[in-house]
Amino acid sequence: MARFSSHCPDKVVLERVTKRFRRESLPECHELCFSWGMAHRYPESAVFYRDLTRELPLITHGQGVWLYDESGKAYLDACGGAYVANLGHGVSVVADAVAEQIRKVAYVNGTAFTNAPAEALAAELQTLNPAGLTHTYFLSSGSEAVEAALKLARQHHVDSGRPSKHKIIARTPGYHGNTLLALSASAREHYKKLYGPWLVPVRMIGAPYPYRCAPDSPEMTGDVLEAAILAEGPETVSCFIAEPIGGSSTGGSVPTFAYWQRVREICDRYEVLFIADEVLTGAGRTGTWAAIEHFGVTPDIMTLGKGLSGGYVPLSAVVTSERIIDPIAKISGALKHAQTFSHTPAICAAGLAAVRHIKAHGLIARAARMGEVLQNRLSTLLELPAVGDVRGKGLLGGVELVKDKDTKVPFARSEKVAERLVKNAQDLGLVLWSNIGHADGERGDLVMVAPPFVITEEEIDTLAKRLGEAIVRTVG
């Protein structure tokens, strides 16, 4: 028997209707139930939800930093969903560009043809990416971009006559995606546990995490990378992958300038390719196009995703230089990472319109400017007893909650502080992103903010106020 939400106007009538509709009429039944406000939860709805344990509000539209559900409730989208809605919601030039391209031609395969949006977007990205990163390979998700980047590093070495170089070094805490190679390079035990037997070994080194690491520790200086390369044998190490500024994993932790200088020097010394994973931090989020620009080094390979299309379509990219591609062009002739939807016109049209919109409206400079306001307002939360640290760069902010501020001891995992905080914030009309496990692999409660770049000072005030209220409601 179906269960119904409390706001259904007449449960008895609705139950009768559900019984009467035969199986082949289920879509109409769902439409009817939808218009009466049926619960959007498992198993009543036909959707296999990402969260099977609770009811989800149904969002009908968005504008700027705001989302509206079917009851008319407004939510401040403080993390752009999952660091995605950089331009803000409801930007019609992007929608128009996609519609126009789909009418002309929606799909051609990248093995047979190229297309105008892919050519134009790659050319636009040349003007934004760190100098030397001249060529772009388009895909649809961050995980795909990471998989392709790791394979690119391996293939570059093989085609350059260094076939023994295959090992990957990544960091903990760290996250690079949920497909199996990307997950292997991630330090998210709650995802990895189940699929452990299918994952490949990846050497993990500690990430720079100023709140919990001493300034002269090997994690903070970068020395830990050299030690790992030497322990593995430099002739076996293919690449080092890392986020230039910690995204969810270390909650917006910002390494020092010297850290990245040292990493670049180590990678060069041992012919280890440095992959900057900018899926979360790229496309202007931290106030520069790529977060690595803050540190004056250029990666060998860079990934982009999430905000690259502003969330209007799923679009990601792998960016690199002729130096990396040339051996592959000469020996293999192609990157061995074939995907049906790479380089397709519709996704590239969205990216092109989004990137041109960012440029035309000076949104990267705005992210830097409003980022200072955001960091400032977030720092006032430090007055609350459970807020251990507030950090970030540009419009990327992390708030770490701890049981004891003096000792930095995290809450017990059983208290589910981050999860309850996100739920309380949503009730208050604020959408956040949470992370757990960064303190010791299991414990640690973080909430992240990464609002659309169009956010105003007043909206930042609302964000900080609601966040403060949600924290008090959750942990006092």
Residues that bind ligand PLP (CB under 6 A): 141-143, 146, 175-177, 243, 247-248, 277, 279-280, 305
- Residue 167, token pair as written in the block: 């090992």
The answer for residues whose C-beta is within 8 angstroms of residue 206's C-beta and 6 or more apart is: 171, 172, 213, 217, 218, 219, 224
Smallest distance from ligand PLP to CB 88, Å? 20
| Angle (deg, nearest 10), helices 92-104 and 345-360 | 150
Smallest distance from ligand PLP to CB 475, Å? 25
Task: Give the span between the Cα atoms of 184 and 194, in whole angstroms.
Answer: 12
Own/partner pairs for 455-462, CB < 8 Å, 24+ apart? 455/64, 455/65, 455/88, 455/370, 455/374, 455/395, 456/370, 457/370, 457/373, 459/65, 459/76, 460/370, 460/373, 460/374, 460/377, 461/377, 462/76
CA nearest neighbour of 350 among 60, 66, 106: 106
Smallest distance from ligand PLP to CB 207, Å? 12
Q: Which residue, 39 or 446, is less far from ligand PLP as judged by CB?
A: 446
Question: Which single residue brings its beta carbon nearest to ligand PLP?
Answer: 142
Give the count of beta carbons closer than 10 Å to the beta carbon of residue 282: 33
Q: Which residue, 64 or 314, is less far from ligand PLP as judged by CB?
A: 314
Q: Which residue, 186 or 474, is less far from ligand PLP as judged by CB?
A: 186
Sign, CA dihedral 118-124-128-130, equals positive
Smallest distance from ligand PLP to CB 259, Å? 17
Smallest distance from ligand PLP to CB 132, Å? 22
Q: Which residue, 18 or 129, is less far from ligand PLP as judged by CB?
A: 129
Task: Give the span between the Cα atoms of 210 and 280, in whole angstroms.
Answer: 20
Q: Which residue, 171 or 466, is less far from ligand PLP as judged by CB?
A: 171
Smallest distance from ligand PLP to CB 179, Å? 7
**Residue-level length of the chain:** 476
Q: Which residue, 243 or 300, is less far from ligand PLP as judged by CB?
A: 243
Smallest distance from ligand PLP to CB 176, Å? 5
Q: Which residue, 117 or 305, is less far from ligand PLP as judged by CB?
A: 305
